[in-house]
A and B are shown apart, each in its own frame.
Chain A
């Protein structure tokens, strides 16, 4: 037998649940029941963010599309396991997306490519605007990133958009590993507070 109606879970608003026009949590509950229309709705809501994240990390468009599709299919497959108490649906999906993109980088990227990426990753913050449609959310992220110290911002963007480990970031920035760890934490905390999530 199947468990309780996932929609019940989705209605229990978890911490950090994003109060947006979407109620991705509810749509996910329908996806969990095999609803293709709901899956299309999820796709429409998250595919651009998933693809964009993969593009930032992987750079290669074809690989990024593969990751995007893998992530969406993982969402389809595991929708019933989504736990609203553990965070918002968006965070869940983006966590899967980012990890998958980074895993792919780590497993496939050769040393030479990495050096090449080092040259391009530093512009990550600046080309947030490269996205086709600048939404209010995007503008807000931009503004909040601007509120970090330089070192916090570089640490966060190299890690998140560049897909670098904190050790690599330390190397790239020429600062101590411990410093990078704390800047990543403090930067993300400041970002969280600025964005008003959770």
Chain B
């Protein structure tokens, strides 16, 4: 792996936060710190599991029957919602490792919520974008980025699963056109979470598109939604092959099948 997300734990102080964390009695910043701590603390993850079971009982003890009509309403609403496919297990990746997989990347998920806010055309993106160097990354910026991750969207179970994976690694990189990209990757979950922060806003006719790039070429990995409060995403991208890269380009708003401009950021997914 080219880069490491080595985290320094802030001592025993974080350890005591486990109860408050499990009961969501923490600020976004605390949550981020604790989750960073979780990445390196096996005991804490185990504590979280057990205490969540206990907290769930507190919730169950407060049960109240919903109004009967809500049941079919909910089921009908579900019929209109596409389900996420499973994250393909790492073991399956191993099984397939013998035959070199053709890069058949697939976007697993797109955030369900689409902001209605129109994009603001602020800066035209230069066509002559210099190819970004492979990202390297650094504990230094992890704090603020993970705060953003937490504050914004961690309620999404998939994302939480990736962030909570034992081998989760955080990578951040500057985007050449402005802003930063953060990737939290788990080879175990065979997926990554992408978040852009303070990306340069694009004209309405353009959008950022993610790609997975390998020897076999680039495969689309999803269009980024408009940013909210300076944050773009999170996006979940699945089916990672070690040694390849996640890249982002500026494309027509409807997306492209192949990149039409140089990447504004590239992040190595390690090996």
A20: shortest Cβ distance to chain B, in Å?
A: 10
A121 within 8 A of B: no
Residue from B20, B49, B71, B81 whose CB has the most chain A CB atoms within 10 Å: B20
Q: Please tell me if the beta carbons of B60 and A197 are within 8 angstroms of each other in the complex.
A: no
- Cβ of A81: which chain B residues have Cβ within 8 Å of it? 84, 86-87, 157-158, 161
Which residues in window 68-102 of B have CB below 8 A to A? 70-71, 73-75, 77-79, 81-89, 92
User: A72 to B86, alpha carbons, bound, how many Å?
Assistant: 18
- Cβ of A78: which chain B residues have Cβ within 8 Å of it? 83-84, 156-158
Which residues in window 154-183 of B have CB below 8 A to A? 154-158, 161, 164
Which residues in window 169-198 of A have CB below 8 A to B? 169, 178, 180-189, 191-192, 195, 197-198
Q: Name which of B22-30, B216-224, B243-251 contacts chain A.
A: B22-30
B192: shortest Cβ distance to chain A, in Å?
A: 14
Residue from B59, B73, B79, B92 whose CB has the most chain A CB atoms within 10 Å: B59
- Cβ of A15: which chain B residues have Cβ within 8 Å of it? 46, 49-50
Q: Please tell me if the beta carbons of B157 and A184 are within 8 angstroms of each other in the complex.
A: no
User: A1 to B106, alpha carbons, bound, how many Å?
Assistant: 10
A13: shortest Cβ distance to chain B, in Å?
A: 13
Q: Please tell me if the beta carbons of B155 and A103 are within 8 angstroms of each other in the complex.
A: yes
- Cβ of A72: which chain B residues have Cβ within 8 Å of it? 74, 78
Q: Please tell me if the beta carbons of A128 and B70 are within 8 angstroms of each other in the complex.
A: no
Residue from A2, A79, A91, A128 whose CB has the most chain B CB atoms within 10 Å: A91
Q: Please tell me if the beta carbons of A55 and B78 are within 8 angstroms of each other in the complex.
A: no
B148: shortest Cβ distance to chain A, in Å?
A: 15
Q: Which of A76, A80, A141 contacts B57 (CB 8 A)?
A: A141
What count of chain B residues pass the 8 Å CB interface test? 57
Interface mask (A104-116 → B, CB under 8 Å = 1, otherwise 0): 0000000000000
A34 within 8 A of B: yes
Known contacts A48-B64, A92-B157; A185/B20 CB under 8 A: yes
B62 within 8 A of A: yes
**Of all chain A residues, which has the CB nearest B77?**
A73
Residue from B52, B54, B79 whose CB has the most chain A CB atoms within 10 Å: B54
Q: Please tell me if the beta carbons of A141 and B52 are within 8 angstroms of each other in the complex.
A: no
- Cβ of B27: which chain A residues have Cβ within 8 Å of it? 165, 167
User: A187 to B24, alpha carbons, bound, how many Å?
Assistant: 15
List chain B positions with a Cβ less than 8 A from chain A.
16-20, 22-27, 46, 49-67, 70-71, 73-75, 77-79, 81-89, 92, 112, 154-158, 161, 164
18 contacts between A and B (CB under 8 A): A2-B85, A36-B75, A36-B79, A39-B78, A40-B71, A47-B70, A47-B71, A49-B56, A72-B74, A79-B83, A88-B56, A90-B56, A128-B61, A137-B61, A166-B26, A180-B20, A188-B55, A197-B50
Given contacts A52-B61, A182-B16, 19 further A-B contacts (CB under 8 A): A4-B89, A44-B71, A47-B66, A52-B64, A65-B70, A72-B74, A77-B83, A81-B158, A86-B161, A99-B154, A159-B19, A159-B20, A163-B24, A178-B16, A180-B20, A184-B19, A185-B17, A188-B23, A192-B51
